[in-house]
Amino acid sequence: MSNTGDDRFIGVFDSGAGGVSVLRACVALLPHEHFRYFGDSANAPYGDQGEQRIRELSFLHAARMIDEGAKAIVIACNTATSAAAAALRETYPDLPILGIEPALKPASKAGGRILVLATKATVQLDKYNVLAQEHGAAGNVVTVPCSGLVELIESGDLGDPAISEYLQRKLGGYVGKVDSVVLGCTHYPFLKRQITAVLGDVAFFDGAEGTARNLKRHLEQNGLCACTSQQGGVEFESSVPAQVALYKRLFEQAP
Ligand code: DGL
């Protein structure tokens, strides 16, 4: 790594506010880096759209950030990672492109009965099904697609009774039957308190910290780290500019 470091920004994107849960982990681990966060709230939810459309949107955001000088891209979205990460890496082989997947691997290591919450598209795409075959001991994993939940989170009021009612309806039948919950959509870590209110004491797993560690490793291996004497920062952008206030609020919120 050079003495001056690499000051270019790291581009992070999601369908909306969810990727902020990944951004937070990245900033905590890499405080000297500059991050630019883009939420595509205008096109959320991605999880109810087809693979081709999710891939097109992901290419649009990644290509723009790369054109603007990003040194690495973080796909802070399980759905977009499943639909587009492999194709993006093929198109941009010289740039680290990190993704996120439902944290089934650490959850299955911990053992017990596992509930995986994710978008409809994530659970339908091959990537998740391969993961579930590799790390889901037979009978121990239940996967619940949560269509409609992202819209409730994007509305910005996490105390909205409609969220508790939704979770009660979806998860009420699993009370006492699960030990761990895998938050397989980056929007869901903001609902840990509400999920605990339905399920009681469960262990949560999400991929944010793993993605941050991967990003750090890639930056180090490729000589892309920022200078450690500089203070990093975050800029927020959205396809719905009014949503930036929500991204900032969630970013400041304790994990
Ligand atoms: N936050 C995203 C994920 O991790 C996508 C949510 C959506 O737009 O459906 O899957």
pTM: 0.96
Residues with CB under 6 A from ligand 1: 14-15, 18, 44-47, 77-79, 119, 122, 150, 185-187
Nearest CA, atom 2, ligand 1: 77
Instruction: Evaluate if residue 189 carries a pLDDT over 50.
Output: yes
CA of 78 to the centre of ligand 1 (A): 6
Min mean pLDDT across 32-36, 37-41, 126-130, 251-255 is at 251-255
Q: Break the chain into its structural domains and give their ranges.
A: 10-100+208-252, 104-205
Note the pLDDT of residue 229: 86
The atom number, within ligand 1, closest to the CA of 118 reads 10
The atom number, within ligand 1, closest to the CA of 18 reads 1
Note the pLDDT of residue 1: 42
Note the pLDDT of residue 154: 97
The three-state (H, E, C) secondary structure of the chain, written as one string:
CCCCECCCCEEEEECCCCCHHHHHHHHHHCCCCEEEEEECHHHCCCCCCCHHHHHHHHHHHHHHHHHCCCCEEEECCHHHHHHHHHHHHHHCCCCCEECCCCCHHHHHHHCCCEEEEECHHHHHCHHHHHHHHHHCCCCCEEEEECCCHHHHHHCCCCCCHHHHHHHHHHHHHHCCCCCEEEECCCCHHHHHHHHHHHHCCCEEECCHHHHHHHHHHHHHHCCCCECCCCCCEEEEEECCHHHHHHHHHHHHCCC
Q: 10-100+208-252 with 104-205: one CATH topology?
A: yes
Task: Give me the architecture of the 10-100+208-252 domain, per CATH.
Answer: 3-Layer(aba) Sandwich (3.40)
Task: Give me the architecture of the 104-205 domain, per CATH.
Answer: 3-Layer(aba) Sandwich (3.40)
Note the pLDDT of residue 2: 44
Regarding predicted confidence, which is higher, 250 or 230?
250
Note the pLDDT of residue 228: 87
Q: Per-residue pLDDT tens for 25-35?
A: 999 999 999 99
